[in-house]
Amino acid sequence: MTESWTKRLLWVAAAWNILGGASALWDPAQHFAQLYTASLSLDDPLQLFFYRCTWINVIAWGVAYALAAMLPLSRTVVLAAGAAGKSAYFVACAALFAGGTGSGMLLAAGIVDVLMAGLFVAALLPGRRVRALSPDGQAASRARP
């Protein structure tokens, strides 16, 4: 993946995380109605604390993706950790969906995250060999920059 595409991917991931986290914090009732078939008791201070911390963490990762978009030397670790986290989130979403507590929208959000995780991994693999057709139509192999 080229430098410019990696940067775009990180900006998209930043927006996805920041907007998702902010909307969950802004309107928890709507968040639960769209994504789950059950709800936490946010009148309980401990449940409210964990709910807020979860979404604050999601927003913080969005900030990390934005910083990695601007600071190329930080990209490898942010992309690697982001791929792991987004993959784990997909597994959690799929399990909740399979158990009947997660909605189709939650599963869709998990799928978006696992697709981003795959793109993060692709961005971490510079120098892969790609097959291209030469001007005469013959398959040619060249190293990616």
- pLDDT tens for each residue of 25-49: 999 999 999 999 998 899 999 999 9
Tokens 């401990």 correspond to: 46
Residues of the chain with confidence (pLDDT) below 50: 128-132, 140-145
The whole-number pLDDT of residue 138 equals 58
Kindly report the pTM of this predicted structure. Answer: 0.83
Name the H helices within the chain.
3-26, 28-35, 45-70, 75-98, 104-123
The whole-number pLDDT of residue 72 equals 93
Q: How far apart are the first and last CA of the chain?
A: 9
Q: Which amino acid is at 107?
A: L
Domain boundaries, the chain: 3-143
